[in-house]
Structure 1
């Protein structure tokens, strides 16, 4: 096997003039992308002194050069570290220090925000845009490419988790993991070289990078790349450029459905929308289904590259809301607290094994030993398999509320809450209780200011076991969320404790 930059070189031989990436008015053909990868490999090796195993950090919004850099790193056996541009400077500095990055390539606005920070001395900083030394300038002056040194087993990506608790951890994904994930993605979507993928999610996350984008380039398909998500631009691209596939998370699905152009936009070009990232509200899925667009759910994480469990388009309508079934190259176990496998209808922690799973956490042997054992990755998520073999998400283990000895999965109450008119967003967390140990509390963002506590509480009567029903309701203007729209449950829990301790 060869390094994955050969994907692009091979497609350039078969279809040199086919568009690989469309980015605004720029069109990068497979031949042009292959040439840019070779020049970037030369820049990395000769100008920046990057060798096999060295780390290069990327700090920018979506840009074709991130993809070119990924394949250039693969060519020489180096490792790309994508940075979440929404993080604060101290968070970026920690990741740069933890990863031991030797170079940082990014947009000037983000690099300027790091000015005055305690950047490691060994980090060479190169801007995408001027003034000063720029990547474009280095590429223009690049010499011949170095000899290919990358191998399938080489680490290629270090993807740092969101860090909602403690310091972020860097999941290490090899070139073969990216290739294996691409095969899962192709099976999930029935993807072919005839597809056009619209990428609007940030590629610093494996969802934006690896659910459709790298698999499309593996196949020789075309990627329409947006710098960042904007609902109007997404709908305009669907209308005018006619992509066949795209990935949205619940927050971006809601923005698209709520946009003024939603009713008038012709969605018939879309073979499917993939989604995941959290328990997806059924009403968002149904909004796309009502327009004839299958919504296929994917379950995974940074540590699984991310595709582990998924639906396929032919099952989307019949199993709306399900996680799907184990991927083509994936093994799944559901286990109880003692590590014993559980059967259908019984919730258990999801364990994942496959060649797409990370080798561990960078520079963190303790966390690696805790999360990876005997080839299995412990996800910390709870799911349940039904009698038909479909998996259904229940909750994060750390979110489970133990009340009077009973396990309560907040996602159950949250699904019901989202059905209540007047609820714009919600989160259910546990609050310490002297009698029960903990009781569920609903934190609600109102779309209708007239909705009150009694109405929320009454919504659960007869629909959920009494011990699972929220005992209190706290109204807030917004919920704290991550860059991809995941609710930061730990922050919500702190908010609930503060509200409890504050005298009325």
Structure 2
């Protein structure tokens, strides 16, 4: 059995049941299952994809995104979802690090291809909606429809996803998730949401994030429910879908909750089909939760990360939601505890690091044994997040990962931005911090020490960063300083920089 078996079983039980709805078209479970088999045959026979090979995808949400995921599962191959918001240089690093055998992409992202051809000349390229140079179109590839669609010894223990997450070293790390991680994650989603085949999930978050892919989308397909897929988030389209498509569940991060509830149509939109919405990715402001609660829609919280697939701790539909700010109890198939720096468990009420263990955890960081050893200790994943639990076992998250900025649901590691800033010849040292922002939760801000005699200005430095990193990672403001606060050993103290930034804004010095 592999994870694709669940799609096959649903196709057998309810072949005509809508599986995926997208832009006015519907894919039944029978058609979804047939297309997955067709894609698996194309990957195996036409492109030579073997067990363990990596297939990358760079695309907005579309049904074939999910088709490709399950086709990889069928072959024992691995899907590498690429964040389309990243800069070309970042995407090229991921493709090179994963040594992708195939890249499937939309024409909108074809600007990657010239550099890609130089860096990975032996990698096959497939275009969803165009014919790439020296490549194939997706539909023409599937039309070949010949050969076998499986390899022997493909099962739930096979790695399926390599999801890259930026790290404190300044380079992304690829978290490897096995098929079984998605299976157990799906069981917890079903437990969390009361998810059944009668549900209808609206997916508006990007599938390149485990949140968009695995909090509700893949669990819904495993359960035989219906998924309505949007190519990308839009508050207009989301509100229209609430009334037109009548979904029962959806996932929104705080930035998208704010966008939806600030929309002029929010006060009158019909939400009666929603039995709950789920949120997470950062500490969720209570006032945003109250906007849905005031309209009679319960708000569930989920805590986790790329490394946990992501469901680990959650509040459950129908259970006690009265503990303000709590992210809930450890999931049905996941253990959680609070530990100190030595790894010892702490008593209730004492803040410490959140540690997690379960079959939903990642297997390793791709090609990075040292990072894997640092993160996993005797099966426990040390999240780096600081939280506490009460005597009933409910968890609160105080601080997300150290030195992590979460802006509009996107993770930004200061080390990554600092690395690029330090590559500029006029920068001697820098510190990047997160500044609170009403719209995005946080935005990056850089404090920079210029090289002696240098005249570099803020806008030039921003352009330098944007040439290497995604736009959302570019510092909103660059402040030039003569010195930075340090420890006795000379290490920059980011928390003191944040305090300085807060005081500066209180005085009206900052933007």
| Same structural fold, with TM-score higher than 0.5 when normalized by the shorter chain | yes
Q: 1:266 to 1:317 in 2, by over 3 A?
A: farther
Q: Which residue does 1:311 correspond to in 2?
A: 315
Q: Which residue does 1:106 correspond to in 2?
A: 105
Q: 1:486 to 1:13 in 2, by over 3 A?
A: farther
Task: Measure how far apart 1:119 and its partner are.
Answer: 2.9
Partners of 2:62 and 2:478 in 1: CA distance: 32
Is 1:61 equivalent to 2:64 in the alignment? no
Q: 1:178 to 1:313 in 2, by over 3 A?
A: same
Task: Measure how far apart 1:316 and its partner are.
Answer: 5.8
Match of 1:280 among 280, 284, 296: 284
Q: Which residue does 1:206 correspond to in 2?
A: 210
Is 1:134 equivalent to 2:134 in the alignment? no
Q: Which residue does 1:176 correspond to in 2?
A: 180
Task: Measure how far apart 1:485 and its partner are.
Answer: 8.7
Check the 8 A contact 2:17/2:29 in 1, yes or no: yes
Secondary structure of the structure 2 residue equivalent to 1:50: coil
Is 1:233 equivalent to 2:237 in the alignment? yes
Is 1:291 equivalent to 2:307 in the alignment? no
Task: Measure how far apart 1:496 and its partner are.
Answer: 8.1
Task: Measure how far apart 1:113 and its partner are.
Answer: 3.6
Task: Measure how far apart 1:235 and its partner are.
Answer: 0.7
Partners of 2:246 and 2:253 in 1: CA distance: 20
RMSD: 3.0
Secondary structure of the structure 2 residue equivalent to 1:315: coil
Secondary structure of the structure 1 residue equivalent to 2:267: coil
TM-score of the pair, normalised by structure 2: 0.79
Secondary structure of the structure 2 residue equivalent to 1:288: helix
TM-score of the pair, normalised by structure 1: 0.80
Q: 1:316 to 1:98 in 2, by over 3 A?
A: farther
Check the 8 A contact 1:39/1:145 in 2, yes or no: no
Cα deviations across residues 353-379 of structure 1 (Å, max 9, x unaligned)? 000100110000010000011001110
Task: Measure how far apart 1:270 and its partner are.
Answer: 0.6
Is 1:271 equivalent to 2:275 in the alignment? yes
Gaps of 5+ in 2: 407-411, 415-432, 440-464, 480-493
Q: Which residue does 2:228 correspond to in 1?
A: 224
Check the 8 A contact 1:20/1:220 in 2, yes or no: yes
Cα deviations across residues 58-79 of structure 1 (Å, max 9, x unaligned)? 0000011110111110111100
Is 1:145 equivalent to 2:144 in the alignment? no
Q: Which residue does 1:405 correspond to in 2?
A: none
Q: 1:489 to 1:190 in 2, by over 3 A?
A: farther
Partners of 1:96 and 1:252 in 2: CA distance: 29
Number of residue pairs matched?
433
Q: Which residue does 1:334 correspond to in 2?
A: 338
Match of 2:195 among 187, 191, 204: 191
Match of 1:376 among 377, 380, 387: 380
Partners of 1:484 and 1:264 in 2: CA distance: 34
Task: Measure how far apart 1:35 and its partner are.
Answer: 0.5
Task: Work out which structure has the larger RCO, using CA pairs closer than 8 Å and 6 or more positions apart in sequence.
Answer: 2
Task: Measure how far apart 1:142 and its partner are.
Answer: 1.8
Q: Which residue does 2:83 correspond to in 1?
A: 84
Q: 1:62 to 1:169 in 2, by over 3 A?
A: same
Check the 8 A contact 1:54/1:79 in 2, yes or no: yes
Q: 1:41 to 1:393 in 2, by over 3 A?
A: same
Check the 8 A contact 1:164/1:488 in 2, yes or no: no
Task: Measure how far apart 1:314 and its partner are.
Answer: 2.0
Check the 8 A contact 1:288/1:294 in 2, yes or no: yes
Secondary structure of the structure 1 residue equivalent to 2:268: coil
